[in-house]
Amino acid sequence: MKVVIIEDEEIATRHLKTMLKEIDPDIEIVAALDSIESSIHFFSKASLLDLVLVDIELGDGQSFDIFTKVNVEAPIIFTTAYQEHVLKAFKLNSIDYLLKPVNKEELTSAILKYKKIHARPKQPFHEYDLSSISKGKAEAREGIFKTRYLAKNGTRLISIAQQDIAYFYTKDRLQYIKTKGNDDYVIDKRLDEIETEIDAQVFFRANRQFIINYENIEKVHTWFSGKLKVQVKPLSYEEIIVGRLKANDFKKWLGD
């Protein structure tokens, strides 16, 4: 994997290089750039790259300026000490947004996310037919999922890892994440959209109000008319009822 680092702090650059090599010894760091000017010059002549790690705040401006001057097709992982740039970052070809100081666990998760999305063998176009395209879409839904979600608590933005989420829920026309630590955060995504992004082995769409984590199910009771009642921890604000039509799928999921 060919990687470029754009970072104006030498210590941070060395730290990223060390972590990348520990995560994957096959990573080749093609260049370590420290400014907008040097980055524009590099990308105007660069050959094919796999991934770019970019600090947003550089000595000569914000790295977003690079992408308005040259076309960078490689996926991007942004690193920054500031949360306010997150929405702008995700409008570019970004696969993750890591807050400084970047730790190895978060960088590993971002690299794995890149590999899931981008490092897949590509079939020649003539090998596809309608059935294979449909199958490919289904496999993509099953194999690619988000590892973290951006949520809000007042004016504060918080990145919440999948493993810290007990369940997603909707209440009073807002969507929330309930963490395993019993905190509630507003999320700017509908449950219908979240359902397409989550790991189906871990989460299940119980009903219109709840998407629940397998690890946070405490009890399941049979209920009226073939329905099921699910008790989760932390306790939900209302009873979670799995409808009759979903009950069999839910039981199969529990036993998967």
Query: The tokens of 145 are what?
Result: 């999922």
Element (H, E) at 94: strand 94-99
The CATH superfamily label for domain 2-119 reads Response regulator (3.40.50.2300)
What is the token pair recorded at 233? 């921890």
Q: Which residue has the higher pLDDT, 63 or 232?
A: 232
* Backbone torsions φ then ψ of 226, nearest 5 degrees: 80, 10
Q: How far is CA 183 from the centre of its chain?
A: 20
Q: Is the peptide bond before 234 cis (omega within 30 degrees of 0)?
A: yes
Q: Kindly report, residue by residue over 98-140, the tens digit of the pLDDT.
A: 888 888 988 998 888 888 766 544 433 333 343 433 344 444 4
Report pLDDT digits (tens) over 45-89: 876 788 999 998 888 888 888 888 888 888 888 887 766 555 555
Q: Which pLDDT value is given to residue 209?
A: 96
Pick among 3.90.1170.30, 3.30.70.120, 3.40.50.300, 2.40.50.1020: CATH of 148-254: 2.40.50.1020
Secondary structure (DSSP) of 6-26: E-S-HHHHHHHHHHHHHH-TT
How many Å apart are CA 86 and CA 233, to the nearest integer?
31
DSSP 165-181: EEEEEEETTEEEEEETT
Contact 77, 114 (CB under 8 A): yes
Check whether 219 has a pLDDT greater than 60.
yes
Cis peptide bond upstream of 75, omega within 30: no
> Could you report how far apart the first and last alpha carbons of the chain are, in Å?
34
The structure's pTM equals 0.48
CATH topology match: 2-119 vs 148-254: no
Q: pLDDT tens for residues 3-52?
A: 999 999 999 999 999 999 999 999 999 999 999 999 999 988 876 788 99
Is 233 in a helix, a strand, or coil? coil
3-state DSSP assignment of residue 33: strand
Above 50 in pLDDT, residue 158? Answer: yes
Tell whether the model's pLDDT for residue 241 goes beyond 90. yes
What are the sequence ranges of the domains in the chain?
Answer: 2-119, 148-254
